[in-house]
Chain A
Amino acid sequence: MKRLAMRSAGQAPAAFRFPAHSIRGRVGTSFKHEHVQAILADEKRDGFFEVHAENYMGAGGAPHAALSQIRQDYPVSLHGVCMSIGGPQPLDEAHLGRFKALVERYEPALVSEHLAWSTHDTTYFNDLLPLPYTAATLARVADHIDQVQEALGRQLLLENPSTYLIFPESTMSETLFVAELVRRTGCGLLLDINNVFVSATNHGFAALAYLADFPVEHVGEIHLAGHAEQADDEGELLLIDSHDRPVADAVWKLFDVIISQCGPIPTLVEWDSDLPDWPLLKAEASAAKAIMDRHAQDFMPGKAYAAR
């Protein structure tokens, strides 16, 4: 009998667990590889980082090495951008499996996805596309959220979209749709305040009225970002959710209102293109932290109820 002999370089070290950093009351930024060296050279902050899940769905290499390094020192938020939860077709099981594997590997403090769709049939459009708000889409989206939460074994935060047009077939408002999803699935919410401001401008409603209807008690994370200005067919202002510049003053004001009402919700400054140097992005996060700290004393344990 012949025996098979083998030489190999040995196995990778067994998976270890990351430290459990609390994300409570922290302010974070998008995690970009352009900033890795500056972040690591900087002194450790009381912040967090958010990554787009799909960028870490490769098997190995530099992306995982960088994220592992960051995850040692900071809590991480895992933000999915292409689960297509708002689409009419069944979720991609393979994609859900990859998402679950990332949750298990990096033990993120927060896990979120969008109220939008990005794949139809077999084509992936790489954009967050809108859906009508009807009883039928509500039932479908709720099923999709149930499926994701069941697969992950934890709560998902669902992000409100920025939209540029409406579906005349819609029978309910976005805030009612979102509130009903929370009620049916037990999911949490990621409140993107820039998206609220962009949609409010584009559709001609008041951002504060939207926020008054939004089930803010279920918000587990806030997003802030910059937007660009264009014109619609009538030559009126149309805002684009561009994530390529500082947060607008109006969005800061809305953030102040929400934090003054809700207390220190983990908040992220998103910046995805035309990236600034790390100090500028860090300064945006510090601005958010300053607003949060200013309201913090109203939300010391025992004080929140006394103030009401």
Chain B
Amino acid sequence: MRKISCLEKPMPPVECREGFGGEPSYAAVFARALLDPDLATPAVVAGPKSKAADKRYNVYRNNVTVSLINALAVAFPATQRITGVDFFRAMARFYVRAAPPLSPLLFEYGRDFPDFIERYEYAQSVPWLADVARVERAWLDAYHAADVEPLTPRALASIPPERLADTVLKPHPATRVVRSRCPAVTIFTANRSDGPATRVEVVEPEDALLTRPALEVEARRLPPGGAIFLTRLIAGESLGVAAAAALSDSASFDLAANIGGLLEAGVFTTALWEES
């Protein structure tokens, strides 16, 4: 423990450190009302030549809220297309005020927006909306992930067959899995383009796989047991252990087809096994 002598005052929290007599800083006072329209214009600001500052301060309020709503609209275009622009912007406004970004990197923003949508009162009639947003959030992660060459289907052929069950596969940085009880991939794909909306006839649950073997993000459905299989592999389990887990989840799990499909999608970067 640090001892505080009588000459040494403890440091107040950041917000209070600026100014004299423990007054909050200009930034603390200015920031307080930015996301709260019920608060008055901060007393530290004024208009020039004795003019009022309300509409002037509102320019900043508007910039903050609208730019963050716009950032969400860019990150979640299919979600916005499903709800319509007005519904989306109203929903995003609630979210922005409740959960403003904690990082200046806006492509990191909205990680819990899908959870917010799931709880959002007015979106309850669209039960797949949150999962489509989850696929979109994963898409954005894949889009910005590091550039690494994926492991080719050929590379696995060089592993001795008796070592295959113990082999561990390292995931590509872009690889993302989103599990859904809804046809999330079909709805995502149908609403991600600018073309005319097509009626989605699928009702089965779909697990999404997102990868980026080169510069384009690819979204596809995982086959039965595929999500369990891949999730276990990403967690560092061996092929044998992951396959057993997938089989107990789904009797129709096809190991060869799954491995082939995952390699084709560019899911892994490295295969590791012990040489005997």
A residues lining the B interface (CB < 8 Å): 2-10, 12, 54-55, 57-65, 82, 84, 87-89, 92, 95, 117-127, 129-132, 136-137, 164-169, 202-204, 230-234, 238, 240, 273
User: Would you give the shortest CB distance from B99 to chain A, in whole angstroms?
Assistant: 10
Q: Are A123 and B101 in contact (CB under 8 A)?
A: yes
In Å, the complex CA distance between A12 and B270 comes to 14
Cross-chain contact of A121 among B14, B54, B269, B276 (Cβ < 8 A) = B14
Contacts of A7 in B (CB 8 A): 151, 155-156, 158-159, 270-271
* CB closest chain-A residue, reference B32: A120
How many residues on B have C-beta within 8 angstroms of the other chain's C-beta atoms? Answer: 67
Contacts of A232 in B (CB 8 A): 47, 51-52, 55-56
Q: Are B46 and A124 in contact (CB under 8 A)?
A: no
In Å, the complex CA distance between A7 and B152 comes to 10
Binary A-proximity of B37-81 (CB < 8 A = 1, otherwise 0) = 000000011111101111111011001100110110000000000
Contacts of B71 in A (CB 8 A): 126
A10-B149, A125-B64, A232-B55 are known contacts. Are A88 and B27 too (CB-CB below 8 A)?
A: yes
Q: Are B27 and A89 in contact (CB under 8 A)?
A: yes
* CB closest chain-A residue, reference B47: A165
Cross-chain contact of A233 among B14, B47, B60, B70 (Cβ < 8 A) = B47
In Å, the complex CA distance between A60 and B156 comes to 26
Contacts of B150 in A (CB 8 A): 9
Q: Are A95 and B104 in contact (CB under 8 A)?
A: yes
In Å, the complex CA distance between A123 and B31 comes to 9
Question: Residue among A10, A62, A65 with the most chain B CB within 10 A?
Answer: A62
A12-B148, A202-B48, A204-B48 are known contacts. Are A127 and B64 too (CB-CB below 8 A)?
A: yes
| Interface residues of B, dominant DSSP | mixed
Q: Are B105 and A57 in contact (CB under 8 A)?
A: yes
* CB closest chain-A residue, reference B18: A88
Q: Are A124 and B101 in contact (CB under 8 A)?
A: yes
* CB closest chain-B residue, reference A9: B149
State whether the Cβ of B17 lies closer than 8 Å to any Cβ in chain A: yes
In Å, the complex CA distance between A104 and B109 comes to 26
A8-B269, A9-B269, A118-B104 are known contacts. Are A240 and B59 too (CB-CB below 8 A)?
A: yes
Contacts of B273 in A (CB 8 A): 4-5
User: Would you give the shortest CB distance from A47 to chain B, in whole angstroms?
Assistant: 25
In Å, the complex CA distance between A233 and B48 comes to 12
Contacts of B231 in A (CB 8 A): none
* CB closest chain-B residue, reference A131: B26
Contacts of A137 in B (CB 8 A): 26
Cross-chain contact of B26 among A2, A132, A202, A233 (Cβ < 8 A) = A132
Contacts of B116 in A (CB 8 A): none
